[in-house]
Structure 1
Amino acid sequence: MALDWSRAAGTLEVGSALERPELLAEPVRDAVAALPAAEAELVGVAEIDPELADTAAFCAEYASPLELSANCVVVAGKRAGELRYAACLVLATTRADVNGVVKRRLDVRKASFAPMDEAVRLTGMEYGGITPFGLPAGWPLLVDAAVASAPAAVVGSGLRRSKIIAPGALLARLPAAEVLDDLARPVG
């Protein structure tokens, strides 16, 4: 194993994502396979109970720390009739500043979370499994600086039945990724 995933993984049994492609949604599988070999080796995957895919339930069941779990949410906004999308990657202990930072970055009057069915259709991923790997071309991936600096972070796999674990630095280098210091706000 090229990386110690243990702290983020909790009790999960993690293996190479390249060796377990059946645990990745198709666009995610393609994105991981397209990474340079040295980076692809840093991407782990673990099978989970799909009923426990939501972050709080997942962390509680598998002893994975919330501060090393990251949520990827799809945000949409309109400008001059054009619908603009972005994915935001923030730690589970925070929330994306959708109506501040994200709205300004998309240059829209109002930004909001994309409806579930729309996010699923556009990404080709299952709700509760949306991940920064394999997002549609042209979408910015807004990554909070705390995620980028995490030694390893748990993210979706595109499927509810598994999770990816990867270094924050790798997540910050994914296509269209932009690291923003002020993307996330504390929950509460």
Structure 2
Amino acid sequence: MSNWTIAGTLNVVPAAERTDLVAEPVAKALATITEPVGIVEIDPDLADTAEFCAAYSSPMSASANCVVVAGKRAGELRYAAALVLATTRADVNNVIRRKLDVRKASFAPMAEATELTGMEYGGITPIGLPEGWPILIDKAVADSPELVIGSGIRGSKLLVTGTLLAGLPGAEVVEGLAK
């Protein structure tokens, strides 16, 4: 297993050994990944990034958040996932809107995002998203040697590299995705 320096006080195990700690679509996707992926079990009440980092001594600069964005074009609803460092915000109104080729883009409603992804709100991750969804990854995320991301549930986090995320099906590294 990789020597994850960002795990803080948590015990990291290979994600393949603890698929009980991820959402079902994430477990299916993990089975296709050959790079090391770590997983840590956490208190679900501490899943939100700031609380997680404070409670487990993990650096905020190594956390990446995944948001589901939606927009319409010619009556067709289009979805994408955007992954940015927790210390930044996704540029939904400009960069993501243009990438989706829609007039107006916004965060997908919580119920919609969880139903479409099969993941829990606050745990949505780019690993295991619906086939065909674009995954927009900020360049700073792609360049990160170690990241903490969601696992599909609130009771755990995945540890991955930016290289792994940039290589996911449908992933596109976007300069300036985050502000």
TM-score interval for Structure 1 and Structure 2 normalised by the shorter chain: over 0.9
1: CA distance, partners of 2:112 / 2:7? 30
User: Are residue 53 (structure 1) and residue 47 (structure 2) matched?
Assistant: yes
TM-score by length of 1: 0.94
Q: Give the partner amino acid of 1:32.
A: L
Aligned-pair CA distance for 1:44:
0.4
Aligned-pair CA distance for 1:113:
0.1
2: CA distance, partners of 1:85 / 1:11? 36
2: CA distance, partners of 1:139 / 1:25? 18
- 2:3 is matched with 4
Residues 114-159 of structure 1: CA distance to partner in whole angstroms, max 9, x if unpaired? 0000000000000000001000011100000000111110000001
Identify which of 123, 128, 135 aligns with 1:134: 128
Q: Give the partner amino acid of 1:102.
A: I
- 2:114 is matched with 120
1: CA distance, partners of 2:113 / 2:9? 30
**% identity of equivalent residues:** 68
- 1:43 is matched with 37
Q: Give the partner amino acid of 1:93.
A: T
Query: Unaligned regions of 5+ residues in structure 2, if any?
Result: none
Cα RMSD over matched residues?
0.6
TM alignment of 1:1-188, pairs within 5 A: 1=1, 3-6=2-5, 8-35=6-33, 37=34, 39=35, 42-185=36-179
1: CA distance, partners of 2:7 / 2:38? 10
1: CA distance, partners of 2:12 / 2:141? 20
Misfit runs of 4+, over 6 Å: none
Task: Report SS of the residue matched to 1:93.
Answer: coil
2: CA distance, partners of 1:135 / 1:24? 13
Query: Unaligned regions of 5+ residues in structure 1, if any?
Result: none
Task: Report SS of the residue matched to 2:50.
Answer: helix
Q: Give the partner amino acid of 1:77.
A: G
Q: Give the partner amino acid of 1:31.
A: A
Q: Give the partner amino acid of 2:30.
A: V
Aligned-pair CA distance for 1:90:
0.3
Task: Report SS of the residue matched to 1:132.
Answer: coil
Task: Report SS of the residue matched to 1:179.
Answer: strand
Number of residues paired by the alignment?
179
1: CA distance, partners of 2:11 / 2:54? 16
